[in-house]
Amino acid sequence: MINGRFMETAVNNGLEVWLQQMGVAEDYIMLVVHTVAILIVLLMAVVVDKVCKRIIIPVVRKVTKKTESDWDDYLLSDDVLRNVCRLVPPMVVYAMIPLALQGEPGLVSFILKVCWIYITIVGVRLVCAFISSIYVISSMHEKLKDHSLKGFYQMLKLVVVCIGAIIVISTIIDKNPVAVLTGLGAGTAILMLVFQDTIKGLVAGIQLMVNDMLRPGDWITMPKYGADGDVMEVTLTTVKVRNWDKTITTVPPYALVNDSFQNWRGMFDIGGRRVKRSINIDMNTVRFCTAEELENFRKQPWMDGFEATGNEEVNLYIFRHYVEYYLRNHPQVNQEMIMLVRQMQPTAQGLPIELYFFSADTAWIRYEHLQGEVFDHVLAMLHIFDLKVFQSPTGEDVQKLRS
């Protein structure tokens, strides 16, 4: 440092002598000396910046591309490297300006403040870029990729930005950052009011992550907010849901914790989608089968395993046995999950017969096709058992009665 000052003094004295010999007025000599010194420092900063951008960054990129791992490609991403290069020139200026402008404490102090503010802002951007790189790496990790960590990393960025803002303010007003932070204590209530959604979103995001309640890609249903579709992303303040009609609904994270929502992830994990539908049988068509009908039924392959109840069998009982046989031999019905055909409480609209089973495919379109196929077949087979579906009278039925 002493040698540097000595060299700087020698250069300045030599420049002053040369300017005097050139006939420059005494009032302008120091101005020219300081201007030349500033230009030299700026030139050094520009040279260092060019060296970083055109030599160091390409070398680092080549090295990271040659490695087999991917994490270094993200930690040393273009955004990170660019911000590192932006830090070097102001640091050169910060170190050289006191030597170049000896005897000008006011100007040196001003330039150092500007440099420090710039370094702080670029440093905040560098840390935020580094956090983004860590988020990308964690999203690719096998154990973490299914967790909604975006809100957590956004909160880290917010903390970094707040710290940077405090440092900048303390630099401008020439106060210790701790004193500035202490002064903010009086405005804590106001800050909590302004950032209440952010704070609640952070807490809710942590609860969602720890309890594994929500992941990107989950199908959720939340009628209160009109959400029925796939989760696109979980951020600090919103959860974006792409509905089946391709609209996008945003839901506050704390609403998912405070209110009830339905997550269909378990259905996809199990590999079966439930079908629970019923048909109403006209109770006037329920009767005992004749001996001839029983004889014809016993010849059918689907009567294997039929458990007779006595000498007289009810056509509805045999029909339920047939539907169970049909479901157990259907290739698109999940045979490892519960399956039953049950009789429900009779109503004024007939006797409900409910089919309860699970599809072997959870895809929506194939699931709907399976439902349609099963009930098409069941309705078409009712006449074999001399059964009819209950149907409320229509205008056509009234017209027939009148005629």
Q: In what order do the strands lie in the sheet with 340-343?
A: 273-281, 351-359, 340-343
Q: Which two tokens stand for residue 379?
A: 């309705």
DSSP sequence for 109-134: HHHHHHHHHHHHHHHHHHHHHHHHHH
47-70 in b/e form (b: 16+ CB < 10 A) is ebbeebeeeebeebeeebeeeeee
- Give me the pLDDT at residue 151, please: 67
pLDDT digits (tens, 9 = 90+) for 9-25: 444 555 555 555 555 54
DSSP-derived 3-state class of residue 378? helix
Q: What is the structure's pLDDT at 33?
A: 63
What residue ranges do the domains of the chain occupy? Answer: 1-141, 146-263, 268-385
CA dist., res. 59 & res. 51, Å (int) = 11
Residues 6+ apart with CB under 8 A from 174: none
One-letter amino acid of 196: Q
Q: Which tokens go with 33?
A: 């000396």
Using the Cα atoms of residue 52, residue 54, residue 56 and residue 58 in order, give the sign of their dihedral.
positive
Q: What are phi and psi of 353, to 5 degrees?
A: -115, 115
Burial of 231 from C-beta contacts in 10 A (0-12 / 13-18 / 19+): buried
Q: What's the pLDDT at 241?
A: 92
pLDDT, averaged across the chain:
80
Tell which residue, 254, 211, 210, 260, has the closest CA to residue 235. Answer: 254
- The alpha carbons of the chain give a radius of gyration, in whole angstroms, of 39
Residues 6+ apart with CB under 8 A from 272: 334, 336, 337, 358, 359, 360, 362
Q: How far apart are the first and last CA of the chain?
A: 116
Q: Is the dihedral of CA 360, 361, 367, 373 positive or negative?
A: negative
CATH number of 268-385: 3.30.70
Measured in whole angstroms, how far is the alpha carbon of residue 319 from the centre of its chain? 49
Burial bucket for residue 390 (CB in 10 Å: 0-12, 13-18, 19+)? middle
DSSP code for 289: P
Quick one: CATH architecture of 146-263?
Roll (2.30)
User: Angle at which helices 78-100 and 26-51 pack, to 10 degrees?
Assistant: 160
Check residue 22 and give its pLDDT.
Answer: 54
Helix 2-21 vs helix 26-51: crossing angle, to nearest 10: 130
Residues 92 and 264: their CA atoms lie apart, in Å, by: 57
**Rounded (5°) CA angle 337-338-343:** 155
- Could you list the pLDDT tens digit for every one of the 403 residues in the chain? 444 444 444 445 555 555 555 555 455 555 666 677 778 888 888 888 888 888 887 888 788 777 777 666 767 777 788 888 888 888 888 888 777 777 677 778 888 888 888 888 888 888 888 888 887 777 776 665 656 666 677 778 878 888 888 888 888 888 777 776 666 665 666 666 666 777 777 777 777 776 778 888 888 999 888 899 998 888 777 889 999 888 999 888 888 888 888 888 888 888 888 999 999 999 999 999 998 998 899 889 988 888 877 768 899 999 999 999 999 999 999 998 999 999 999 999 999 999 999 998 888 889 999 999 999 999 999 999 999 999 887 777 677 777 6
Supply the pTM of this predicted model: 0.54
Strands 273-281 and 340-343: unpaired
Q: What residues have CB less than 8 Å from 248, skipping those under 6 apart?
A: 232, 240, 241, 242
The stretches of 174-272 forming alpha helices (DSSP H) are 177-183, 188-194, 196-210, 253-258, 265-270
